[in-house]
């Protein structure tokens, strides 16, 4: 589903275009190469590939899978995508570790009896192809993607900024949502102590399109939603929490 020039929604359980539980998955179309932002929960995400084809894009051009973080609804389909398309998977160092070793093991949680964490236990594991540092840029086709390390929702969350025809698009994962909502999980799964620092990385950037991994996106004025989230920390000292996907 084309959202705006070069930006497509190719997966989303909430919008009913891929299996339940999938986060919003986006494709950015550079010349001759496609970038997938997150890939969903389903172990068989072929519907996402069908959506990419339906939008007139060539899945053979899928070269980069950039993970905002390694939660199952964003990353469980990584193995399928790499095996099916040859896409290379990139994440922050922390999230690459989660992908390889498991979230519960990484944060040191023993939760044998907690059914709410079962999806983390069952998550497919694999080694990322590349690790991204804060501020690192990837030149992909005619586009430049900047990786921004934004701890908060998770310890290693990243947002990805790309300028398309003079407009700044931000793929924000679960770090910040439309209307300034943020997503804090029970400790130690989130990094609440550093959430403000993570949001500060997104302030003053003049973001136009804000594309989070859940809820609504916007094509213009994205910065004001980020700024609202920050104001909730600095002025109200009470964030608005996103309670559902």
- Per CB under 5 A, which region of 4-12, 65-73, 86-94, 119-127 contacts Fe ion? 65-73
Q: Should residue 155 be labelled a site residue for Fe ion when binding is judged by CB under 5 A?
A: no
Shortest spacing between CB 94 and Fe ion, in angstroms: 13
Contacts of 189 by beta carbon, 8 Å cutoff, 6+ apart = 103, 107, 109, 154
Contacts of 197 by beta carbon, 8 Å cutoff, 6+ apart = 151, 152
117 is written with which tokens?
């964490």
Q: Should residue 214 be labelled a site residue for Fe ion when binding is judged by CB under 5 A?
A: no
Residue number with CB closer to Fe ion (61 or 153): 153
Shortest spacing between CB 213 and Fe ion, in angstroms: 7
Residue number with CB closer to Fe ion (161 or 174): 174
Size of the site for Fe ion (CB under 5 A): 2
B/e letters for 199-238, b = 16+ CB within 10 Å, e = fewer, are bebbeebebbbbbbbbbebbeeebbebbbbbbebbeeeee
Residue number with CB closer to Fe ion (173 or 209): 173
Q: Should residue 174 be labelled a site residue for Fe ion when binding is judged by CB under 5 A?
A: yes
CA distance 51 to 40: 13
Shortest spacing between CB 214 and Fe ion, in angstroms: 8
- Per CB under 5 A, which region of 103-111, 117-125, 166-174, 188-196 contacts Fe ion? 166-174
The helix-helix angle for 46-54 and 78-85 (nearest 10°) equals 60
Element (H, E) at 95: helix 93-101
Shortest spacing between CB 174 and Fe ion, in angstroms: 4
Residue number with CB closer to Fe ion (46 or 124): 124
Residue number with CB closer to Fe ion (85 or 177): 177
**Cβ neighbour number for residue 122 with a 10 Å cutoff:** 11
Q: Give percent helix, percent strand, percent coil of the chain, each to the nearest 5.
A: 30, 25, 45
217 is written with which tokens?
């996106």
Q: Should residue 71 be labelled a site residue for Fe ion when binding is judged by CB under 5 A?
A: yes
Shortest spacing between CB 126 and Fe ion, in angstroms: 18
Name the residues that contact Fe ion, by CB under 5 A. Answer: 71, 174
């Amino acid at each position: 589903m084309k959202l705006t020039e070069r930006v497509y929604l190719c997966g989303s359980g909430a919008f009913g275009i891929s299996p339940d539980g999938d986060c919003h998955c986006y494709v950015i179309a550079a010349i001759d190469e496609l970038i997938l932002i997150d890939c969903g929960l389903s172990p068989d995400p072929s519907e996402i590939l069908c959506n990419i084809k339906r939008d007139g894009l060539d899945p053979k051009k899928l070269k980069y899978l950039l993970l905002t973080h390694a939660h199952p609804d964003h990353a469980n389909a990584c193995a399928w995508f790499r095996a099916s398309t040859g896409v290379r998977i990139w994440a922050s160092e922390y999230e690459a570790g989660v992908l390889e070793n498991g979230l519960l093991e990484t944060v040191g949680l023993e939760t044998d009896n907690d059914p709410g964490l079962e999806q983390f236990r069952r998550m497919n594991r694999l080694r990322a192809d590349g690790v991204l540092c804060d501020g690192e840029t990837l030149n992909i086709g005619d586009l430049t993607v900047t990786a921004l390390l934004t701890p908060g929702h998770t310890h290693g969350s990243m947002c990805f900024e790309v300028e398309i025809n003079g407009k700044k698009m931000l793929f924000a994962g679960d770090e910040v949502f439309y209307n300034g909502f943020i997503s804090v999980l029970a400790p130690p799964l989130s990094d609440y102590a550093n959430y403000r620092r993570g949001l500060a990385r997104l302030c003053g950037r003049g973001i136009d399109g804000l594309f989070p991994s859940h809820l609504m996106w916007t094509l213009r004025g994205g910065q004001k939603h980020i700024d609202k989230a920050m104001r909730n920390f600095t002025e109200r000292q009470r964030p608005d929490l996103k309670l559902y996907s």
